[in-house]
Amino acid sequence: MDGGSRGGSARRLGGELIAAAERLGTLGADALGRITVGARATTAVARSGLLGPERPDRLIRVAAGVVRLGPIAGSCAGAAARWGGRPALVDDEGALSYEEIDARSSALACAWADRGLGPGDGLGVLCRNHRGFVDALFAGAKLGMRVVLLNTEFAAPQLAAVAARERLSAIVADDDLIPRTEAAGLPVYVTGDGGGEGTEALISRALGRSPGAPSEHATLVLMTSGTTGTPKGAQRRDVRTIETLGALLSRVPLRTKEATLVGPPLFHALGLAQAMLAFNLGSAIVVSRRFDPEAMLALAERHRVTALIVVPAMLQRILALGHERIRSFDTGALRVIFSAGSQLPGSVATETMDVFGDLLYVLYGSTEVAYATLAAPADLRAAPTTVGPPVLGATVKLLDESGREVPVGSSGRIFVSNGVEFEGYTDGGGKEVIDGLMSSGDVGHFDAHGRLFIDGRDDDMIVSGGENVFPQEVEELLIGHPSVADAAVVGVPDEDFGARLAAFVVPASGCEPRADDLREHVRVNLARYKVPRDVSFVEELPRNATGKVLRRELGGAAARPNVSPRSGP
C-alpha cells in the first residue's frame, strides 16, 4: 500500500471511530473524550505505516511476545517477528538486524540466568550508546529484572551509593568505566570482548538459546538528572499503547522503516524513549559512543537519517560549526529534528530552522511526567521560546500555591496528566499530585493561542530584594546577544538583597564581550532587578551527560573568589 492510500485509510478509520464515539455520547464526557483521543491516536499511528496490512501470524507473534515477556522485552521479540532482517541498530562497530538483537539479548539472558540472575534482581546498566546497552536492556527485561539505567558520568562514590540504594545484584559496564564500579562490590560484566565474562563471550556461548517467560515482568528505573541534588530512581513499567505512540506521531511526521540518529545518552529518558519509538517503527537506530557535532552530521549524511534526536546543547555545538560547514554535509533526507531534555533558547530554534528548514520539533516533559507539550515548526516560527500546546491525550494545567488555575498569561506551577506518568521514586517518594495531575517541578505560562512557555524550575527561582526572578529569562536574553555563545544565571547570597544574580558567560568565537555591555543589554530589555551584578566569563558551562547546566557547581564557584580567569568588566 502506498503512502497516499495508507494515509487515506488512516483518515477514514479515525473518522469512523470519532463518529462512532460521538454517537455514544450517553457514555459521558470523560469516556467520550478517551474514545476520541484513542481514535485520533489510531489515525496518527496508521498514518506512520505501523498499522498497515500485515500477515496474521506475524501479528499473533507480536502480541504473544508482549503478553509472555512484558512490554519492554516483548517489544524486542515483537520487532524481530515483524521487521526481521531489517537494520535495527547501527553503532561504531557496524549494523545489527532486529532478529540479531533479539537473538543476542536472549542468549545474554540465558547466560545471566545460568549465573543466578532472575526476576526481581537489580541490573545496573553503565553503558554509552552502543549495542552493549541494547543487549543488556533487553536481556535484563527478558529475565524480568529491575533494569536500572546508570548515568555514565557518575563518580565511583555516587555509583556505589546508587547501587546500594537500588539493591543491584550485578552491573554491566563499558571497559573504561569498570574502575568506577569497584566500590559497589558487585559482579560486573564488561561489554564487548572482555574475556570470559565479557558480554560478547557470554552471547556467543549461549547463542540459539531462549529464556522462558519470566515469573514477573521487568521494571525500568531511570535516574533523574540530579542538577540540583542527588539523582533519584524513577521507576516505570513502560507500556506501548496506541495512545502513547499516537501522542507523538500526531504532531511529528515519523514514519516506519526509516533511520533515526539518537544523540542523547540511551540511559536518559529522551534517548531511550526515542530509540524505543524508532525500534517499534522498524527504523534503524543510529548511535555513537561519543558526541561530536561534525561526526553527527557525517552520520546523518552516510545513513540518510530522517530524524535527528538532540538536546539543546548539541544543537548549539552544531550551529557553532558555522552555516557553511554545516551545509557541506548532505542532510537532505532529514524531515525531523527533535529536541528535548532542557529549554531550547529561542535564538537557537530560529537559527536551526534557518539552516535546516522548518523541521524542528521541541518536546516538553520530564522523566516523571513523560510528555506534556510539543512545539511544531509553525509554533516556533510564531514564538521561538515556546514549548507548544499540549500533545494529544495530555492535560496541562497551571496552578497557584493554593491549587487554583491561573489566568492565561500568568505564571503558575505546571501539572500534567497523560496516563503514562511514572510510578514513583524507588525510595518511596513521588511528585506532588493535585486532582489527578502530577507536578513537573517547573513554572510556566500559556499565551492566548494555548502555547506553553517555561519560566523556569520552581526551585531555581531567585528572590532578590523581594522580587522573584527566574534565571531562564535572563539567560535567554544573554544568549541572544551576538557576542555570547552560551550563558547561565544563578543566585548567590547577598547581605543587602538576600540574593543577587550572577551570570556565567561563554563568549562567541572571536568575541571578547565586556561585562558592562552585557549588563546594559539586560537593563534595556528587562527590569533593573533582573540585571546580573556579577558577570564571569568561562570557556564552557558545567553540564551533565544530557546537556543540562549543573547550577549547583556554578553557585559554588560564584561563592569563591577568582571564579574564572576573566571576570568583571
| Chosen domain end from 431, 459, 487 | 459
What three-state secondary structure class fits 374? Answer: strand
Do 75 and 140 fall into the same domain?
yes
Higher-confidence position of 225 and 97: 97
Do 455 and 467 fall into the same domain?
no
CB of 73 closer than 8 Å to CB of 218: yes
Q: Which of 53, 46, 40 is nearest to 9 (CA)?
A: 46
What three-state secondary structure class fits 331? Answer: coil
Is residue 58's pLDDT more than 90? no
| pLDDT of res. 26 | 46
- The Cβ of residue 399 has, within 10 Å, a number of other Cβ atoms equal to 18
Quote the CA–CA distance of 431 and 429 in Å, as a whole number: 7
| pLDDT of res. 194 | 73
Find residue 397's DSSP bridge partners: 415
Q: Considering Cα of 33, then 39, then 42, then 44, what sign does the dihedral take?
A: negative
- The Cβ of residue 555 has, within 10 Å, a number of other Cβ atoms equal to 15
Q: Which residue has the cell 543587602?
A: 496
| pLDDT of res. 281 | 92
Quickly list H helices, 166-224: 178-181, 199-206
CB of 211 closer than 8 Å to CB of 145: no
Q: Which of 111, 295, 268 is nearest to 203 (CA)?
A: 111
- Report the Cα 15 to chain-centroid distance in Å: 32
| pLDDT of res. 528 | 86
Do 550 and 409 fall into the same domain?
no
Find residue 438's DSSP bridge partners: 416, 433
Do 377 and 482 fall into the same domain?
no
Q: Percent of the chain, pLDDT > 90?
A: 62
Q: How far is CA 112 from CA 54, 186, 211, in A?
A: 35, 14, 10
Burial bucket for residue 221 (CB in 10 Å: 0-12, 13-18, 19+):
buried
CB of 255 closer than 8 Å to CB of 336: no
- The whole-chain average pLDDT of the chain stands at 87
CB of 171 closer than 8 Å to CB of 124: yes
Residue 56's pLDDT band (boundaries 50, 70, 90)?
Answer: low
Quote the CA–CA distance of 476 and 71 in Å, as a whole number: 40
Q: Are strands 122-126 and 188-190 parallel, antiparallel or unpaired?
A: unpaired
Which of the given ranges, 1-5, 124-128, 231-235, 492-496, has the highest pLDDT on average?
124-128
Find residue 188's DSSP bridge partners: 171
For 398-417, what is the mean pLDDT?
95
Is residue 569's pLDDT more than 50? no
CATH code, domain with 309: 3.40.50.12780
Residues 6+ apart with CB under 8 A from 452: 364, 372, 373, 386, 387, 388, 389, 390, 396, 414, 444, 445, 446
Q: Is residue 233 part of a domain?
A: no
User: How many structural domains is the chain composed of?
Assistant: 4
The whole-model pTM stands at 0.84
Query: What is the dihedral angle through the alpha carbons of 170, 175, 177, 178, rounded to the nearest 10 degrees?
Result: 50
Name the residue range of residue 552's domain: 461-567
| pLDDT of res. 64 | 63
Region of poorest pLDDT, from 37-41, 266-270, 557-561: 557-561
Do 156 and 295 fall into the same domain?
no
Q: Is residue 236 part of a domain?
A: no
Do 261 and 171 fall into the same domain?
no
Q: Which of 176, 193, 173, 195 is nearest to 184 (CA)?
A: 173
Higher-confidence position of 247 and 503: 503
| Chosen domain end from 429, 459, 489 | 459
| Chosen domain end from 427, 459, 491 | 459
Q: Is residue 237 part of a domain?
A: no
In this structure, the chain runs to a length of 569
**HEC assignment per residue over 418-478:** CCCCCCEECCCCCCCEECCEEEEEEEEEECCCCCEEEEEEHHHCEEECCEEECHHHHHHHH
| pLDDT of res. 50 | 74
CB of 135 closer than 8 Å to CB of 159: no
CB of 563 closer than 8 Å to CB of 530: no
For 64-75, what is the mean pLDDT?
76
Which of the given ranges, 34-38, 391-395, 526-530, has the highest pLDDT on average?
391-395
| pLDDT of res. 568 | 43
Q: Is residue 228 part of a domain?
A: no
Do 383 and 426 fall into the same domain?
yes
Do 455 and 469 fall into the same domain?
no
Do 426 and 538 fall into the same domain?
no
| pLDDT of res. 527 | 84
Quote the CA–CA distance of 526 and 284 in Å, as a whole number: 46
- State the cell numbers at 254: 515519523
Q: Is residue 230 part of a domain?
A: no
- State the cell numbers at 187: 559482579
Q: Which residues of 428-455 are buried (b: 16+ CB within 10 A; e: fewer)?
A: eeebeeeeebbbbbbbbbbeeeebbbbb
Region of poorest pLDDT, from 5-14, 248-257, 398-407, 432-441: 5-14
CB of 43 closer than 8 Å to CB of 11: yes
Q: Is residue 232 part of a domain?
A: no
Give pLDDT tens digits for 435-460: 999 999 999 999 999 999 999 888 77
Do 306 and 431 fall into the same domain?
yes
Give pLDDT tens digits for 182-230: 999 999 999 988 777 899 999 999 999 999 889 999 999 998 865 545 6
Is residue 76's pLDDT more than 80? yes
Q: Is residue 80 part of a domain?
A: yes
Give pLDDT tens digits for 481-528: 999 999 999 988 888 788 889 999 999 988 999 999 999 999 999 888
Residues 6+ apart with CB under 8 A from 322: none
Do 41 and 70 fall into the same domain?
no
Residue 27's pLDDT band (boundaries 50, 70, 90)?
Answer: very low
Do 253 and 326 fall into the same domain?
yes
Q: Tell me which H or E stretch contains 122.
A: strand 122-126
CATH code, domain with 509: 3.30.300.30
Quickly list H helices, 192-263: 199-206, 242-249
Quickly list H helices, 166-281: 178-181, 199-206, 242-249, 269-280
Give pLDDT tens digits for 300-359: 999 999 999 999 999 999 999 999 999 999 999 999 999 998 889 999 999 999 999 999
Residue 67's pLDDT band (boundaries 50, 70, 90)?
Answer: low
CB of 537 closer than 8 Å to CB of 505: yes
